[in-house]
Structure 1
Amino acid sequence: MTEAARAAATAPLQDVPLDSDGVPHGQPVLDRLVALLDLERIEENIFRGVSPAESPVRVFGGQVAGQALVAAGRTVPPERRVHSLHSYFIRGGDPTIPIVYEVDRIRDGRSFTTRRVVAVQRGKAIFSLSASFQLDEPGLDHQEPMPAVPEPESLPTYAQAAAGYLDKVGMARLPRPIDVRYVTEPPWRAREGGPAEARSQVWMRADGKLPDDDLLHVCVLAYASDMTLLDSVLVRHGVYWGTDKVLGASLDHAMWFHRRFRADEWFLYDCASPSASGARGLATGRFFSADGQLVATVVQEGLLRVLD
């Protein structure tokens, strides 16, 4: 990441397309996400990333996961594609200072490569990730079918779905590099009807065109995977961030990548919650491409404290 790229990644957005609710979206916002994922190499196995000017109080979990995966991938031959990652969120990140990513080259085998990454701020670990990469190989092939859902263009935009709730919904006022369309009732509306089925379904895609870089598309998907996953826990209990007194944070995050995809084309994120207990909720997610291919699976546990 050059000085110019770092400035582009952190500068406030100006003169960009605005959604119907006045929130920046579209290609310029996506380009800034791409710049955020273009880490600066400090040493052979050390990288540095930054956060956007408009950030939550803590660094967004999808951002640090995506950046850590970029750091790991920069030390792996391009013909080896990531097939899984396992990570822990250790401390809340500070979006006002850079994040240093330290890569440990665990193993380079004939077919598989393993990397471990620790994200550090102020000398302390805030996030750790282990990722495995593999050469393409032929083998058995099957998958679960994609759920029957409406087409994404037939559904309201995020701005339309959040109308009347913008001051209450968690990240509704932040720039939107990802186009999100809710298939199920948005959780801030579903809560008005009380507890519901523990499922959240959304169509997603990068809101613009991405370069032809397999690792970048995977990292954008990792970024997006943290956006709505815990909705499937909260919606079952009729509560939601901002509209209720809910304190929460991602504890861990695991992903398996099954097939190639483009993150700038529509994919369905089908999420469910099998269990919640001990102030923790477990959520699982499946990513399907628009043509029905199962491209990734996600599991996350989150800390969820309902104070009211």
Structure 2
Amino acid sequence: MNGPIDGLLRTLDLVDTGARTHEDIFTGPSQWAPLGRVFGGQVLAQSLVAAQRTLPDDRAVHSMHGYFLRPGDIEQPITFSVERIHDGRSFSTRRTQAYQNGLPILSMLCSFQTEDEGLDHQMPMPDGIPDPETLPTTAELLAGVDHPTAAYWSNGRPFDVRHLPSSIYLEVDGERVERQAVWMRAIGEIGDDQKLHRAALAYASDYSILEPVLRRHGIPWSTRGMKIASLDHAMWWHRDVKVDDWLLFVQESPSASGGRGLSLGRIYSREGVLVASVAQEGMVRVPDPAAFD
């Protein structure tokens, strides 16, 4: 099994430390990440896994809403407290709080549903999208860049991420537009557990969702003095998903103001099936905002 994928699966394999009076408690490790801060997608995925552990297999997550409260420390494990808010005939609700050193770093509400029949429609996948095999990998784009973050993005992530029209790692080419798309796929097999695939999708959904905000203003990730952090994250799963097949993540930013940017996204299978939708607001601060207008 590939190293980064093996690491992701170990990270999501939480330890059940026992139920208390009003909550279930789990613990999980922190992955290495640049700048010493836990990757937000990791905490989202682990929090979802913790909630899934308190439910029968016939209830799948269909939505979650999380707030990032504090940066996580990669040197510390994370404790997850799950409160069983509601269990109805078709829907269940859970609240997960992620803690380090006794302080919450993430608070999440998520909802689960039994399989049901109903109306069915979706927005179509955009036309004219190049195949992922025709696009450069992150490792190819960052070849020769001697920096720990570049090395992590190139070879340390469990997902292959390929941008279109282009990446914004080192520079922003082309028009300054508030939209983009990425192809992404786990770089190893995940297995058949749909709960794990949905958690892994939550993990990967945090990679590039704020990039349309940066692209609109011509700001690459390499900008000195830039500070960017996820504030909240919402996600809806519409249909089953396989993260070890190629997925198209179509993204756009309707607004940025007050040091914050909002991005929306839709995730499609390669066959054009809409599997999930995402929304995230993030803090985006640059040394001289007027220079990017």
Is residue 95 of structure 2 the alignment partner of residue 120 of structure 1? Answer: no
The one of 158, 183, 189 equivalent to 1:177 is 158
1:48 maps to what in 2?
27
Q: Determine if contact 2:232/2:282 at 8 Å carries over to the other structure.
A: yes
Q: Determine if contact 1:165/1:188 at 8 Å carries over to the other structure.
A: no
Aligned partners of 2:148, 2:31: CA distance in 1, in Å? Answer: 22
Q: Determine if contact 2:264/2:280 at 8 Å carries over to the other structure.
A: yes
The ranges of structure 1 where at least 4 consecutive aligned residues each deviate by more than 6 angstroms after the TM superposition are none
Aligned partners of 1:93, 1:187: CA distance in 2, in Å? Answer: 25
Is residue 167 of structure 2 the alignment partner of residue 186 of structure 1? Answer: yes
Q: Residue 255 of structure 1 aligns to which amino acid in structure 2?
A: M
Aligned partners of 2:171, 2:226: CA distance in 1, in Å? Answer: 16
Shift of residue 261, structure 1, vs aligned partner = 1.2
2:261 maps to what in 1?
281
- Look up the SS of the partner of 1:46 in the other structure: strand
Aligned partners of 1:54, 1:304: CA distance in 2, in Å? Answer: 19
Aligned partners of 2:84, 2:108: CA distance in 1, in Å? Answer: 12
Q: In structure 1, list runs of 5 or more residues that go unmatched.
A: 1-25
1:96 maps to what in 2?
75
Change in 2 beyond 3 A, CA 1:189/1:52 = closer
Aligned partners of 1:267, 1:146: CA distance in 2, in Å? Answer: 11
Where does 1:3-42 land on structure 2 (aligned, <5 Å)? 27-42=2-17
Where does 1:222-301 land on structure 2 (aligned, <5 Å)? 222-301=202-281
Is residue 49 of structure 2 the alignment partner of residue 74 of structure 1? Answer: no
Aligned partners of 1:305, 1:53: CA distance in 2, in Å? Answer: 24
Q: Residue 224 of structure 1 aligns to which amino acid in structure 2?
A: A
Is residue 177 of structure 2 the alignment partner of residue 202 of structure 1? Answer: no
The one of 112, 117, 122 equivalent to 1:143 is 122
Q: Residue 49 of structure 1 aligns to which amino acid in structure 2?
A: G
Change in 2 beyond 3 A, CA 1:192/1:180 = closer
Shift of residue 69, structure 1, vs aligned partner = 0.3
Shift of residue 56, structure 1, vs aligned partner = 4.0
Further displaced range: 171-180 or 120-129: 171-180
Change in 2 beyond 3 A, CA 1:53/1:247 = closer
Is residue 134 of structure 2 the alignment partner of residue 159 of structure 1? Answer: no
Q: Determine if contact 1:155/1:182 at 8 Å carries over to the other structure.
A: yes
Aligned residue pair count? 282
Change in 2 beyond 3 A, CA 1:247/1:54 = closer
Aligned partners of 1:153, 1:192: CA distance in 2, in Å? Answer: 20
Aligned partners of 2:206, 2:66: CA distance in 1, in Å? Answer: 12
What TM-score, normalized by structure 1, do the two folds share?
A: 0.87
CA deviation vs aligned residue, 1:50-91 (integer Å, no higher than 9, x gap): 112455411100000000000000001110000000000000
CA deviation vs aligned residue, 1:255-282 (integer Å, no higher than 9, x gap): 0000001111100011110000000000
Q: Residue 284 of structure 2 aligns to which amino acid in structure 1?
A: L
Q: Percent identity?
A: 49
Shift of residue 99, structure 1, vs aligned partner = 0.5
Aligned partners of 2:187, 2:79: CA distance in 1, in Å? Answer: 28
Further displaced range: 154-163 or 167-176: 167-176
Q: Determine if contact 2:63/2:111 at 8 Å carries over to the other structure.
A: yes
1:12 maps to what in 2?
none
Change in 2 beyond 3 A, CA 1:168/1:212 = closer
Q: Residue 207 of structure 1 aligns to which amino acid in structure 2?
A: I
Aligned partners of 2:240, 2:148: CA distance in 1, in Å? Answer: 36
Change in 2 beyond 3 A, CA 1:288/1:161 = same
Aligned partners of 1:154, 1:185: CA distance in 2, in Å? Answer: 12
